[in-house]
Amino acid sequence: QQQVKQSPQSLIVQKGGIPIINCAYENTAFDYFPWYQQFPGKGPALLIAIRPDVSEKKEGRFTISFNKSAKQFSLHIMDSQPGDSATYFCAASKTGNQFYFGTGTSLTVIP
Amino acid sequence: DADVTQTPRNRITKTGKRIMLECSQTKGHDRMYWYRQDPGLGLRLIYYSFDVKDINKGEISDGYSVSRQAQAKFSLSLESAIPNQTALYFCATSGTYPSPDTQYFGPGTRLTVL
């Protein structure tokens, strides 16, 4: 059973648009929710992460929105750029324990 | 130099062969992980190790084994490779700083089993 469900599988937006990627989880014991960004030929790298004591976190153009009651969280990319074209993975874990990753979203930002 | 290195970067092998993928890190982290990535399936955990004497199975450990030779080295073996083990394999590490929950990934090994 998949612990973290991610959608959509792929996304195409125009430059300047705001792509949104959604994730849902089942295990209420999870308390750490990171997003990883992966460029072709590279390993994933941490982009931004949130803990359930806040509903939103911003780092530059990247924002996580977190809804604890719905067990959902999402990544928003403001003013998207072609350089943001990558695969994005959400994940969830209980602090100090193994990660469960979503299936990934391939984002393409058209100039 | 990269903090997490993987060798080889690409490998083509035949069904039934024994394969070892190696991971080394210079980050001083205690925790190391092996994942496989398949299109549409994301990253799935194969094995993880929280220190040299600790080995744990992940979601998909069948057909794989690991060895933690030192704090800095964690190897993944396929005793008898089969075609459905064709995938991209990543090693990752995590430590206490800046957070035990931040994982750092290597560049990956692309394995093809014919």
- The token duo for A31 is 């308390």
Where b means 16+ CB within 10 Å and e means fewer, A76-97 reads bbeebeeebbbbbbbbbbeeeb
Pick the residue of B101, B103, B109, B110 with the most A CBs within 10 A to test the interface with A by mutation: B101
Q: Each residue of B29-69: pLDDT tens digit?
A: 999 999 999 988 999 999 999 999 999 999 999 999 999 99
pLDDT recorded at residue B2: 66
Please give the share of chain A, as a percent, with pLDDT higher than 70.
100
| CA A23 – CA A3 distance, rounded (Å) | 10
Is B55 within 8 Å of chain A by CB? no
End-to-end Cα, chain B, rounded Å: 33
Give B11's contacts (C-beta < 8 A, 6+ positions apart): B19, B21, B109, B110, B111, B112
Query: Which residue of chain A comes nearest to B32, CA vs CA?
Result: A98
Q: Each residue of A40-89: pLDDT tens digit?
A: 999 999 999 999 999 999 999 999 999 999 999 999 999 999 999 999 99
- In order, the DSSP letters of A9-45 are SEEEEETT---EEEEEE--TT--BEEEEEE-TTS--E
**Contact (CB, 8 A) for A48 and A75:** yes
Instruction: Test B92 with A43 for CB contact under 8 angstroms.
Output: yes
Peptide bond into B8 cis (omega under 30): yes
